[in-house]
Structure 1
Amino acid sequence: MSKIWNVAVVGLGIGRTHIFEGYSRHPDKFKVVTVCDLDAGRRSAVAAEFNVPHQTDSFADVLAMPDVDIIDVCTPPGLHFDQTLAALKAGKHVVCEKPLVGSLAEVDALIEAEKTYGRTILPIFQYRYGNGVQRAKRIIDLGIAGKPYLGTVETSWWRTADYYAVPWRGKWETELGGVLVTHAIHNHDMLMYLMGDVEQIFARAATRVNEIEVEDCVSASLKLKSGAFASLSATLGSTRQISRLRLCFENVTFESGLEPYRPGDDPWQIIAATAEVQAQIDDALKGWQHVPTRFDGLFADYAPGLVTGKLPITLMDARRALELVTAIYQSDADNRPVDLPVGPESPRYHSWRPAAARATVLAEAP
């Protein structure tokens, strides 16, 4: 019998979704033994709904629980780095919602902490899971799609003042960013997952929809390392919510569906250039096994990854996503293209947040 991993879920907003879509569907792999939230009513409701035996409002209590193998961090983004590091030090594996942390320096610190404490961190990129995106991934990885030409990614969602009534939202210090960090990051990860790494970015960001500190509109032009181009657009001012990826390759064009929060699901259109290419695609997808969507699929892969040490999503994946974020903010601030990779020499390496970034530049000035 395989090991059943005991999980503590901290933060029961999106954390409840982790339980409902993920852990509860894999009782042979996971057992949620503790839930933690400052809201007593929400905490009690989730514990009762999923028959969780213990509940607390103290993160310190969770760290001290000897029967907890995994701490799932679903708290506001500004808490992620400190809580994730504390969990590693306590000997726990960690699952952490997006954005993982608030800078490339913090990602790099966690990469070293994984090695130091001998525990793993699973960053959350659940949109990679679903039959549509995974069929596309197989076709690309087999070389059938050929040379990448052009990609477009749209994250057109709708958020009003009611959404930002939650005190930590819309603020640099606690949410760490806006549409780029909290909403579009999943779709941008999917672009790189399917088309590869980014070489250069030119971007614009603005706050046009809501009266908040952070951006809610972004447009970016990308050159990929393959030589392909891509364009990103993201807004929280679309009265019709969609997520859409359109990826043009030499032999195949892929078009996702429009469902905003399940872009990896079918239906995806896979449009072959010729009958010969279509025959290759048909052969590649023969006997296709269903890929569960979102957290269901991600956590199905997570448990065996804990045993083998090969997680389905790694800190390097999170670093790539946050490197894109860093470069977009830097390009907008400096009004110029930014080359990737982004390292410690970047003025945004220690923080992409405007005030913190300016402080870093001043501190390092001769």
Structure 2
Amino acid sequence: MPKRYKVGIIGCGIGRSHIVEGYAPHGDKFEVVALCDLDEARLTTVADEFAVPRRTVSSDELIAMPDIDIIDICTPPAPHTRLILEALAAGKHVVCEKPLTGSLLEVDQVMEAERTARGVLMPIFQYRYGEGVEQARRIIESGLAGKPYAGTAETFWKRSAGYYDNPWRGRWATELGGVLMTHAIHLHDMLTFLMGPVERVFGRVATRVNAIEVEDCVSASLLMQNGALVSATATLGAQEEISRLHLAFENVTFESNHAAYSPGDGPWRIVPANEGVAVQIEALLKDMPPVGRRFTGQMEAFHRALERGERPPVTAEDARRSLELLAAIYHSSETGTDVALPLGREHPKYKTWRP
């Protein structure tokens, strides 16, 4: 009989989405038993909605609950590192929203703590989950796609001044970054999920849409380790919200759906080079099992990994790569230089990418 893991969630904003999409659909695998939020009205509303028995405004109290198996961190970015380290030290498994930490130094500290912890850590990158992206990954991993040539990653979203009428958004100290950190990080993770690691980057960032501290427009040119060339563009001033990957391989071109907040969903446009490739792709995908989307798919994969004693489906190393790319783009924009990855401990943006 698979274990039903008890979950405590810190932060009832995006935490509510984790319940709706991630835990409630898998009631045989997870039970949310405790919630924590500094906003007592929101805490009560969400706890009542899902009949969660334990409510607290203290993260320390929730982490200390002995029967909780998984601590799910859904707070604004700034306290993530502290909460991860406290939860791992308490012997818990940890789920954490993006960004995992506020620096490469901190993510390395978290990875070191995880090596000796009883629990495991899974960062959230829910856009990896959906029929479209999983089919593309299967085709690429099979070798059918062939040599990767080029691609584009577009995060065209809209955020107005009202979005930033908030205690933590738009500020370096609390949001830790702008469109690169909070919005485009999802699509950029999907890009490397399919195209592999980045080798070099030249980027520019600007604040053009709102009166905020952090960037809201980005343009970057990426050289992937496999030789492919990719352009990545993001803005929070688009009038039509779109998230799109468009990837050209030797034998196949992929184009994601354009849904801003679920680009992993199918169907994707999969354009084979010829009829022979099309037949092979059809055979490869014919018996592919259904794939859960967004949090539903990621939490199902997490439960499977826990039961099998395997590494989580998304790892701290994955989160580090996303933060390393972000830091490299900031450094490139600041210095006007082409930046080589990986970024080591001696790099100027290793301890912080914030001004």
Q: TM-score range by the shorter chain?
A: over 0.9
Pairwise CA distance, 1:116: 2.2
1:303-353 Cα shifts (integer Å, max 9, x gaps): 121232321001111111111011001101111000001110100001110
The letter of the residue matching 1:319 is: R
2:307 paired with 1:314: no
Q: Secondary structure at the match of 2:193?
A: helix
The letter of the residue matching 2:319 is: A
In the other structure, the counterpart of 1:357 is none
Q: Is the 8 A contact 2:10 2:35 kept in 1?
A: yes
Q: Distance in 2 between matches of 1:118 and 1:36?
A: 23
Mark the runs of 5 or more structure 1 residues left unpaired by the alignment.
Answer: 355-366
Q: Which runs of structure 2 are paired with 1:180-329 in the superposition (5 Å)?
A: 180-307=180-307, 308-329=309-330
Mark the runs of 5 or more structure 2 residues left unpaired by the alignment.
Answer: none
Equivalent pairs: percent with the same residue?
57
Q: Which runs of structure 2 are paired with 1:16-55 in the superposition (5 Å)?
A: 16-55=16-55
Which moves more between the two structures, 44-53 or 219-228? 44-53
In the other structure, the counterpart of 2:347 is 346
The letter of the residue matching 1:333 is: E
Q: Secondary structure at the match of 1:331?
A: helix
In the other structure, the counterpart of 1:65 is 65
Q: Distance in 2 between matches of 1:309 and 1:82?
A: 25
Moved over 6 A (4+): none
Structure 2 length normalisation: TM-score?
0.99
Pairwise CA distance, 1:182: 0.3
Q: Distance in 2 between matches of 1:71 and 1:180?
A: 26
In the other structure, the counterpart of 1:163 is 163
1:143-169 Cα shifts (integer Å, max 9, x gaps): 000000001000000001111011100
Q: Distance in 2 between matches of 1:60 and 1:319?
A: 26
Pairwise CA distance, 1:40: 1.3
Judging changes above 3 Å, is the alpha-carbon distance between structure 1 residues 288 and 116 closer, same or farther for their aligned structure 2 residues? Answer: closer
Pairwise CA distance, 1:288: 2.2
1:176-195 Cα shifts (integer Å, max 9, x gaps): 00000000001000000001
Q: Distance in 2 between matches of 1:39 and 1:124?
A: 23
Q: Distance in 2 between matches of 1:3 and 1:288?
A: 26
Q: Is the 8 A contact 2:92 2:118 kept in 1?
A: no
Q: Distance in 2 between matches of 1:265 and 1:2?
A: 28
Q: Distance in 2 between matches of 1:110 and 1:306?
A: 19
Structure 1 length normalisation: TM-score?
0.96
In the other structure, the counterpart of 1:132 is 132
Pairwise CA distance, 1:48: 1.2
Q: Distance in 2 between matches of 1:138 and 1:131?
A: 11
Instruction: Give the number of equivalent residue pairs.
Output: 354
1:127-148 Cα shifts (integer Å, max 9, x gaps): 0000000000000000000000
Over the residues paired in the alignment, what is the CA RMSD in angstroms? 0.7
Q: Secondary structure at the match of 1:245?
A: strand
Q: Distance in 2 between matches of 1:225 and 1:294?
A: 27
Q: Distance in 2 between matches of 1:132 and 1:309?
A: 25
Q: Distance in 2 between matches of 1:85 and 1:173?
A: 20
Q: Distance in 2 between matches of 1:35 and 1:119?
A: 20
The letter of the residue matching 1:106 is: E
The letter of the residue matching 2:336 is: N
